[in-house]
Structures are given as C-alpha cells and as structure tokens.
C-alpha cells in the first residue's frame, strides 16, 4: 500500500500561495483580542509611491495610501 499523496493544501484547493496566505492572515487578524487586533489592522495599510515621466524628466512623486484593501475576493 502506498502513502497518500502529500502536497501543499493550498495547491490541492486550487488557489495560489498568496491567496492562501492572505486568507490565513485575515483569519488570524479576526480572532485576535485587543490591543493586538487594532495593531495588526494598522499594519495592514498599504502605501505606494508613483510619479509620472514627461519629456524624460520625473515629476514630483505622489504617495498613495490605500485604506481597507480587501485581501480576499468578495463572494459573488
């Protein structure tokens, strides 16, 4: 008798590792108690910097803060 095939659960479920990791992180943040929960939610925010180029010169960079970015896809 051979052993059952082993492998990552996320791959067997048909999802990418990043999607699996985001779902796990959402679950962990959901079960935390205060004050740890509010600190974890504060770290969830995403910042990025972008700038446009015109005539070979860079314009002033703009820092964008994305609040409440969904890490998992909403159910339809």
- Domain span at residue 30 reads 9-66
Supply the CATH number for residue 35's domain: 1.10.1620
Label residue 22 by pLDDT band (50, 70, 90). confident
At 35-61, the pLDDT tens digits run: 988 888 877 777 778 888 889 888 888
Residue 39, CB half-sphere, CA atoms under 13 Å: how many? 5
Q: Who contacts 25 (Cβ-Cβ below 8 Å, separation ≥6)?
A: 71
Go through 8-46 and write b for each residue having 16 or more CB atoms within 10 A of its CB, e for each that does not: eebeeeeeeeeeeebbeeeeebeeeeeeeeeeeeeeeee
Q: Looking at the domain assignment, is residue 73 inside a domain?
A: no
Number of domains the chain is built from: 1
User: Tokens 């008798």 sit at which residue?
Assistant: 1
| pLDDT of 73 | 56
């Amino acid at each position: 008798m051979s052993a059952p095939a082993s492998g990552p659960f996320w791959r067997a479920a048909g999802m990418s590792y990043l999607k699996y990791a985001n779902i796990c992180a959402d679950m962990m943040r959901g079960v935390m108690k205060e004050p740890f929960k509010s600190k974890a939610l504060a770290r969830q925010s995403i910042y990025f910097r972008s700038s446009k180029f015109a005539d070979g010169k860079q314009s002033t960079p703009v820092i964008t803060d994305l609040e409440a970015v969904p890490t998992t896809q909403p159910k339809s």
